[in-house]
């Protein structure tokens, strides 16, 4: 055969169609959560929608300074070159010291979602079953499409995943590859997994041989209550801890990390190496320089951010109590970005309320978007995100919500 004699006759009028893979064809389009068509049409709409950090809490000025320092130090050229799949040593070392683990166990990722999808692909067999929070962060469910996994919904209580419920299901014969949970300031339900439940969950994982995927993006944002600890996760060979700088330094950086059990490091590294080679050398250069060259800066920044989010949570709760007395059951959050109030009156239709609120200029996520199975009251809940909204916006948003109640 010569190059001038193609085996398939070429006809520009009828090109041979390209067929996406079975995997790509099976990926769902956003339904409910993330569906833009449900948003308020008003240009002045106030969005209480996402776990988004406030711009004032992000290191805009510092990154400009850092860029200058890196350029002056002659690091500019290297920042545009290839680097290793594992991530920058200095950055891994800085994170490892904070986490209290060996730096080898830290794998730098392109943010939390990347860490989640890597973990799922590394540990869940095609068609396997993953126990998930009910209600859950919907985008995790979408990562399960990568392996066609089924789900076993496990109720989430005020103090996190109902571990006893999971234990009963396992004792009854259910077999799972993984449990997915958000241990601190749960998305959407705002609670924190208690220390006792953390220990019980890890014990189940070791007894039945599954991995706990602990997705922890909000854990640095505690402004009330007691930390419930992470050591139990780091000390187990059955836990992958997923984290990200999204909520603290900014989602646009796309920078996060996994704390892997030692025995999984090489496996996950090989998988990652075949996808994107490594996280941005440029971003790692800047963030490593920022964190390493300014001892104490990260903690001081977090302290200011926590104060800001504590204040906003207080404003939102106070406004709801004043403008909507008795209409919602509210538990003030201890951290993170979400309030998960419950409608008190069963006569209120949550879908109609949501539609009226959107028409009146306030967007929030209805609780039904987060349910992963029956048996929760999610449908009667609202997820209100306050992280990137000013006091005035929160006040106005609650006023509009009050009007939607009628």
Ligand X SMILES: Cc1ncc(COP(=O)(O)O)c(C=O)c1O
User: How far is Cα 251 from Cα 390, in angstroms, rounded to an integer?
Assistant: 19
Is the CB of residue 213 less than 8 Å from the CB of residue 181? yes
Which tokens in the block code for residue 211?
Answer: 């991995």
User: How far is Cα 377 from Cα 155, in angstroms, rounded to an integer?
Assistant: 10
Strand-pair category, 129-134 with 150-157: parallel
Instruction: Determine the Cα angle at 394 with ends 392 and 398, to 5°.
Output: 120
155 CB-near residues (< 8 Å, 6+ apart) = 134, 161, 162, 165, 375, 376
Q: Residues in contact with ligand X, total (CB under 6 A)?
A: 13
- Per-position b or e across 258-295, b if 16+ CB within 10 A of its CB: bbbbeebbeebbebbeeeeebbbbbbbbbbbbbbeeee
Q: Which residues in the 171-210 window bind ligand X by CB under 6 A?
A: 182, 187
Beta strands (DSSP E) in 239-359 are 239-244, 256-259, 328-329, 338-339, 342-343
Q: Does 333 help bind ligand X (rule: CB under 6 A)?
A: no
Q: Does 113 help bind ligand X (rule: CB under 6 A)?
A: yes
The residue among 153 and 256 lying less far from ligand X, judged by its C-beta, is 256
CB of 113 to ligand X, least distance (A): 4
CB of 268 to ligand X, least distance (A): 17
- Choose, by CB under 6 A, the member of 99, 133, 184, 215 that binds ligand X: 215
Q: Which range of residues in 62-70, 107-115, 271-279, 359-367 is near ligand X by CB under 6 A? A: 107-115
Strand (E) or helix (H) holding 269: helix 265-273
Instruction: Determine the Cα angle at 78 with ends 74 and 81, to 5°.
Output: 160
Instruction: Calculate the alpha carbon distances from 295 to 74, 125, 195, 303, 304 in Å.
Output: 22, 42, 30, 14, 16
Q: Does 366 help bind ligand X (rule: CB under 6 A)?
A: no
- Choose, by CB under 6 A, the member of 59, 112, 135, 335 that binds ligand X: 112
Contact string (CB under 6 A) for ligand X, positions 33-52, x = contact: ------------------x-
Q: Which range of residues in 9-17, 73-81, 110-118, 196-204 is near ligand X by CB under 6 A? A: 110-118
CB of 19 to ligand X, least distance (A): 30
Q: Does 341 help bind ligand X (rule: CB under 6 A)?
A: no
Q: Does 160 help bind ligand X (rule: CB under 6 A)?
A: no
Q: Does 246 help bind ligand X (rule: CB under 6 A)?
A: yes
CB of 251 to ligand X, least distance (A): 5
Is the CB of residue 201 less than 8 Å from the CB of residue 179? yes
Contact string (CB under 6 A) for ligand X, positions 51-80, x = contact: x-----------------------------
Residue in this structure with the two tokens 């002659």, named with its chain if needed: 74
Q: Which range of residues in 191-199, 243-251, 377-385, 394-402 is near ligand X by CB under 6 A? A: 243-251
Contact string (CB under 6 A) for ligand X, positions 263-292, x = contact: ------------------------------
Q: Does 244 help bind ligand X (rule: CB under 6 A)?
A: yes
User: How far is Cα 50 from Cα 188, in angstroms, rounded to an integer?
Assistant: 10
The residue among 70 and 154 lying less far from ligand X, judged by its C-beta, is 154
CB of 233 to ligand X, least distance (A): 15
Q: Which residues bind ligand X (CB under 6 A)?
A: 51, 111-113, 137, 182, 187, 215, 217, 244, 246, 251, 256
């Amino acid at each position: 055969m010569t190059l001038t004699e193609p085996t398939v006759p070429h006809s520009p009028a009828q090109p041979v169609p390209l067929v996406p893979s079975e995997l790509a064809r099976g990926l769902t389009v956003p339904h409910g959560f993330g569906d833009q068509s449900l948003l308020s049409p008003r240009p002045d709409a106030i969005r209480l929608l996402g776990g988004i950090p406030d711009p004032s809490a992000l290191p805009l000025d510092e990154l400009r300074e850092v860029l200058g320092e890196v350029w002056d130090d002659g690091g500019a050229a290297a920042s545009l070159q290839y680097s290793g799949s594992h991530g920058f040593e200095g950055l891994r070392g800085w994170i490892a010291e904070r986490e209290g683990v060996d730096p080898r166990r830290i794998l730098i990722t392109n943010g939390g979602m990347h860490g989640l999808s890597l973990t799922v692909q590394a540990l869940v067999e095609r068609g396997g079953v993953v126990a998930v929070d009910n209600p859950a962060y919907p985008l995790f469910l979408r990562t399960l499409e990568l392996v066609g996994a089924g789900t076993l919904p496990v109720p989430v209580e005020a103090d996190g995943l109902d571990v006893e419920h999971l234990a009963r299901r396992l004792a009854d014969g259910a077999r799972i590859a993984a449990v997915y949970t958000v241990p601190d300031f749960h998305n959407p339900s705002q609670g924190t997994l208690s220390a006792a439940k953390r220990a019980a969950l890890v014990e189940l994982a070791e007894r039945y041989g599954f991995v706990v995927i602990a997705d922890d993006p909000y854990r640095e944002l505690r402004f009330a209550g007691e930390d419930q600890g992470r050591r139990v996760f780091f000390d187990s060979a059955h836990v992958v801890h997923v984290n990200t700088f999204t909520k603290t330094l900014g989602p646009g950086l796309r920078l996060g990390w996994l704390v892997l059990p030692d025995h999984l490091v090489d496996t996950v590294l090989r998988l990652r190496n075949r996808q994107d080679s490594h996280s941005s050398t440029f971003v790692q250069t800047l963030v490593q320089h920022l964190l390493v060259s300014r001892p104490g800066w990260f903690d001081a920044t977090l302290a200011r951010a926590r104060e800001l989010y504590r204040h906003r949570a207080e404003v939102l709760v106070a406004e709801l109590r004043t403008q909507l007395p008795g209409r919602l059951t509210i538990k003030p959050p201890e951290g993170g970005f979400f309030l998960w109030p419950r409608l008190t009156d069963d006569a209120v239709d949550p879908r109609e309320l949501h539609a009226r609120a959107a028409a009146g200029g306030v967007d929030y996520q209805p609780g039904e978007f987060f349910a992963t199975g029956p048996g929760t009251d999610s449908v009667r809940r609202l997820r209100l995100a306050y992280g990137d909204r000013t006091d005035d916006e929160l006040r106005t948003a609650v006023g509009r919500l009050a009007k939607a109640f009628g």
